[in-house]
């Protein structure tokens, strides 16, 4: 018997990549009773979704992106009810530095987000690990730490045997709007394919004639132990102040508040062939993160206890940008900082594949979702 293509009334869909976006997409298809197969060459959530924590924040430069995040926040709450596990902490997210004023203006303009300026006393209460700071600060009360491991585990469990341990080698468009997917040990055909494969997305797009403007880089995030007893409440942190020698710092508590993950938003650029121009740069970023912890977070032991090294795939118009490209039954999703967007983005991709409708117009590449205002 040859490869099967489902009927138009119940299309079989393939999703490539079991990071958080691929898992969310496959789960949203399952909710629509659409048969789905999810390809993953490694362990689910072990690529760009690796680690135990991410920041959920509403604050962005683009009003449209704030609206998308607000919708995704409600969907995270829905997942919590369905799966019966904590997926997002309730301790909020704080930001410090000059960008705070502009971010608050955007949030106020969009509306519906519980965010406000806070003084140094409240900042110290929300972020007891932080050194003394008296500059601009804000609290996003609806923000918090995403429990990434719990989210990946819950979605993986829900999808079960729909996940296959296969590396996708190529995609090919066939007659009759059929998409051929060739993996290491399989050759299957589908009515629709959704690619959420991180660094592999651009390569697979090239196989059907699309050139995606993805910039590949590498990133490091370090984990540090809390010196004393873990605080009962601790917020996520974004530091754009420069007060402690760095801008673009982000930090999130891990479950139990005994450890805190700290990273710099800078990433190490990678050449077109996938190699580092200077491999020492990744170690340099780790050293800078350690030095930042010594200056800014005296509540942490500055000797890291863990590392996460992962690829970054961002788009030219913004580090928070995302877009979806299409090619006759195939959707290619790309962007950076997508963990918080996963429920909404997965639902949008699933809707397009299940119905044949165009993807949400905000996700069209020409919309440049996430682009800061000029």
Q: Which of 314, 343, 358 is the last residue of a domain?
A: 314
- Please write the tens of the pLDDT for every residue from 129-161: 999 999 999 999 999 999 999 999 999 999 999
Q: What is the pLDDT of residue 260?
A: 97
302 and 275 in one domain? yes
CA 71/CA 293 separation, integer angstroms: 33
225 and 201 in one domain? no
134 and 245 in one domain? yes
177 and 164 in one domain? yes
CATH code for the domain in which residue 162 is found: 3.50.50.60
Helix axes 148-159, 63-83, angle to 10 degrees: 60
Q: Which of 314, 334, 349 is the last residue of a domain?
A: 314
Asked if the model's pLDDT at residue 345 lies above 70, the reply is yes
CB 21 within 8 A of CB 46: no
Which two three-digit tokens encode residue 38?
């999810």
Asked if the model's pLDDT at residue 237 lies above 70, the reply is yes
The tally of domains found in the chain comes to 2
Full-model pTM = 0.95
Which two three-digit tokens encode residue 308?
């996460």
Contacts of 245 (CB under 8 A, 6+ apart): 291, 292, 295, 296
104 and 59 in one domain? no
- Please write the tens of the pLDDT for every residue from 264-293: 999 998 888 888 888 899 999 999 999 999
Q: What is the pLDDT of residue 274?
A: 81
Q: What is the pLDDT of residue 18?
A: 98
244 and 129 in one domain? yes
* CA-based radius of gyration for the chain: 21
Q: Which of 289, 314, 339 is the last residue of a domain?
A: 314
Contacts of 343 (CB under 8 A, 6+ apart): 24, 72, 75, 76, 78, 79
23 and 81 in one domain? yes
244 and 333 in one domain? no
Q: What is the pLDDT of residue 73?
A: 97
322 and 369 in one domain? yes
CA 343/CA 151 separation, integer angstroms: 11
Q: Which of 183, 188, 148, 138 is nearest to 44 (CA)?
A: 148
Asked if the model's pLDDT at residue 31 lies above 50, the reply is yes
26 exposure class (CB count in 10 Å sphere: 0-12, 13-18, 19+):
buried
Hey, which residues does 196 pair with through a beta bridge? none
CATH code for the domain in which residue 233 is found: 3.30.9.10
Q: Count the neighbouring beta carbons within 10 Å of the beta carbon of residue 283.
A: 12
Q: In the predicted model, what is the mean pLDDT of the chain?
A: 94
Asked if the model's pLDDT at residue 14 lies above 50, the reply is yes
233 and 196 in one domain? no
155 and 82 in one domain? yes
- 113-137 average pLDDT score: 97
Query: Which domain, by its residues, includes 261?
Result: 93-141+215-314
Asked if the model's pLDDT at residue 205 lies above 90, the reply is yes
170 and 65 in one domain? yes
For the CA atoms of 40, 46, 48, 54, what is the dihedral angle to 10 degrees? 130
């Amino acid at each position: 018997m040859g490869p099967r293509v489902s009927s138009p009334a119940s299309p079989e869909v393939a999703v490539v990549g079991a990071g958080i976006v691929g898992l969310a997409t496959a789960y949203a298809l399952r909710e629509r009773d659409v048969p789905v197969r999810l390809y993953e060459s490694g362990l689910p959530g072990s690529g760009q979704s690796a680690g135990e924590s991410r920041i959920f924040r509403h604050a962005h430069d683009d009003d449209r992106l704030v609206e998308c995040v607000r919708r995704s926040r409600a969907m995270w709450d829905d997942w919590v009810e369905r799966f019966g596990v904590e997926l997002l902490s309730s301790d909020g997210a704080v930001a410090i530095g000059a960008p705070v004023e502009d971010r608050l203006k955007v949030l106020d303009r969009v509306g519906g987000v519980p965010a406000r300026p806070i003084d140094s006393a409240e900042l110290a209460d929300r972020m007891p690990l932080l050194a003394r700071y008296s500059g601009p600060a804000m609290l996003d009360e609806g923000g918090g730490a995403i429990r990434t491991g719990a989210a990946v585990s819950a979605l993986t469990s829900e999808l079960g045997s729909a996940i296959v341990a296969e590396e996708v080698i190529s995609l090919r468009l066939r007659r009759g709007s059929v998409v051929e997917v060739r993996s290491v040990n399989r050759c299957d055909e589908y009515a629709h394919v959704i690619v959420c494969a991180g660094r592999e997305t651009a390569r697979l797009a090239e196989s059907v004639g699309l050139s995606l403007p993805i910039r590949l880089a590498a990133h490091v995030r370090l984990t540090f132990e809390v010196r004393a007893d873990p605080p009962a409440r601790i917020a996520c942190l974004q530091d754009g102040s420069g007060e402690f020698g760095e801008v673009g710092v982000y930090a999130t508590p891990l479950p139990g508040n005994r450890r805190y993950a700290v990273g710099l938003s800078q990433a190490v650029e990678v050449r077109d062939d996938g190699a580092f121009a200077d491999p020492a740069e990744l170690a340099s970023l780790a050293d800078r993160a350690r030095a930042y912890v010594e200056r800014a977070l005296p509540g942490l032991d500055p000797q890291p206890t863990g590392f996460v090294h992962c690829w970054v795939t961002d788009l030219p118009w913004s580090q928070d940008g995302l877009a979806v490209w299409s090619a006759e039954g195939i959707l290619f999703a790309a962007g950076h900082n997508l963990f918080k967007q996963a429920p909404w983005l997965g639902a949008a991709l699933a809707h397009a594949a299940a119905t044949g409708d165009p993807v949400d117009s905000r996700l069209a590449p020409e919309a440049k979702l996430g682009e800061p205002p000029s």
